[in-house]
Amino acid sequence: MVAITTLLAGLATVLAPALAAFSDPLACSGVCTDTHDPSLIRRSSDGKYFRFATGLSIHTAPALTGPWTNAGNVLSGGSKINNPGSKGPWAPDVSLVGNTYYLYYAVSSFGTQNSAIGLATSTTMEAGSWTDHGSTGLQSKTGDPYNAIDPNLIQVNGANFLTFGSFWGDIYQTQLSSDALTWTKAAPYNVELNKTASRSSEGSYVFAHGGYYYLFWSSKCRKQPQPARATGYTLRLKLKLLDTDPSPLLQAVNAAATILPSRRQARSTRSWSAAARATRDPSYGPLSPLIHNETFY
């Protein structure tokens, strides 16, 4: 614990040179809109890129920078979860689990805690190939300490953890079943809390790299009318030393650093914050779409 505390205390100093030099986003060709709450993944069989967004649209490209084309929808009729937001699922998160792609999504209504996290699976990710499993069992209602949206899966030593949350109690984490299809009913653990009045944290993502777990989330999201440029909104991170006891994965962490302020390349059409749905590219290494609640161009 002392070693972790010492490491985190110097986090901002260590990262400062790299953060100051953080590069502008890569170029994008083809359909580069429809990127609200994105999830990006490279198919293992052929290297084809798939991009998913709120509404569960599918866009594909032969390379990271495009050209991106519309390739249909994960659930063209919406989710089978009984929720007012079922026709327009939010915030997809896609991972390869064994030989199957798992796409977690949220159904909700804006500004409420009437929310649930669902799951669809496919072996190819192509439109028409997805099976909707409905709710994972993880849901929230008014008065709960968390809001069950913005899900993200990470697998650690054979165990499946789902990180989620938006406003209210901010970011939580809980354990899924061994097949990653359902919630185990394990009590969600609060892994990040913004103690300011707005508690404006959401869009979390846990990324394992170089012996650490990194928890990314967006902060200070708010509505911003176009064409005013959004400024001052940030992508933040936590980290924890990789160990053999991930229950809960980030329990020991209590430090954060801003890693990306708003960039001039983005104009807001709804609200702006940065979020990470990271993937690994053979040429670029670990990377993220960097956009949450935003149309990017």
Which domain CATH number covers 113?
A: 2.115.10.20
What pLDDT does residue 28 have?
A: 87
Query: What's the confidence (pLDDT) of residue 216?
Result: 79
> Phi/psi class of residue 11: alpha, beta or left (left: φ > 0; alpha: ψ in -120 to 50)?
alpha
pLDDT beyond 90 at 135: yes
Q: Is 37 a catalytic residue?
A: yes
User: Which residue range forms the structural domain that includes residue 149?
Assistant: 2-287
Instruction: Name residue 118's amino acid.
Output: G
| Assigned domain for 7 exists | yes
What's residue 68's pLDDT? 96
pLDDT band at 260 (very low <50, low <70, confident <90, very high): low
Instruction: Answer for the pair 203, 288: CB distance below 8 angstroms, yes or no.
Output: no
Active site residue 202: yes
CA dihedral 235, 241, 246, 250 (to 10 degrees): -40
Question: pTM higher than 0.85 for the full model?
Answer: no
Within a domain: 294: no
Number of domains, the chain: 1
Give the active site residue among 93, 150, 192, 202: 202
- Tens digits of per-residue pLDDT, 217-227? 777 554 443 33
Residue from 37, 132, 150, 294 carrying the catalytic annotation: 37
170 has pLDDT over 60: yes
| The residue to which tokens 């109690």 are assigned | 169
Beta strands 279-281 and 285-287: pairing type?
antiparallel
In a domain, 245, yes or no: yes
pLDDT the model gives residue 204 = 84
Name the pLDDT band for 108 (thresholds 50, 70, 90): very high
Least confident of 77-91, 111-125, 146-160, 202-216: 202-216
Looking at residue 198, its pLDDT comes to 63
Give, to the nearest 10 degrees, the angle between helix 2-9 and helix 11-20: 40
The top-scoring range by mean pLDDT among 45-59, 209-223, 280-294 is: 45-59
Classify residue 76 as exposed, middle or buried by CB count within 10 Å of its CB (0-12, 13-18, 19+). Answer: exposed
The pLDDT value given to residue 82: 94
Q: Which of 2-16, 84-98, 136-150, 176-190 is the least confident region?
A: 2-16
Return the higher-pLDDT residue of 197 and 87.
Answer: 87
**Integer Cα distance of 93 and 154 in angstroms:** 10
Per DSSP, what are the bridge partners of residue 60? 50, 69
> Which residues lie closer than 8 Å to 10 by C-beta, 6 or more apart?
none
Lowest mean pLDDT among 40-54, 92-106, 192-206, 269-283: 269-283
Does 295 reside within a domain?
no
Q: Please indicate, yes or no, if residue 123 is contained in any of the structural domains.
A: yes
Question: With 70 as the cut, is the pLDDT of residue 259 above it?
Answer: no
> Is the pLDDT higher at 221 or at 273?
221
Instruction: Look up residue 188 and give its two tokens.
Output: 């969600």
85 token code pair: 């937001």
CA distance 176 to 157: 13
- Is 186 domain-assigned? yes
The mean pLDDT value for 125-140 works out to 97
Does a structural domain hold residue 297?
no
Question: What is the rounded average pLDDT for all residues in the chain?
Answer: 75
Tell me, yes or no, whether 292 lies in a domain.
Answer: no
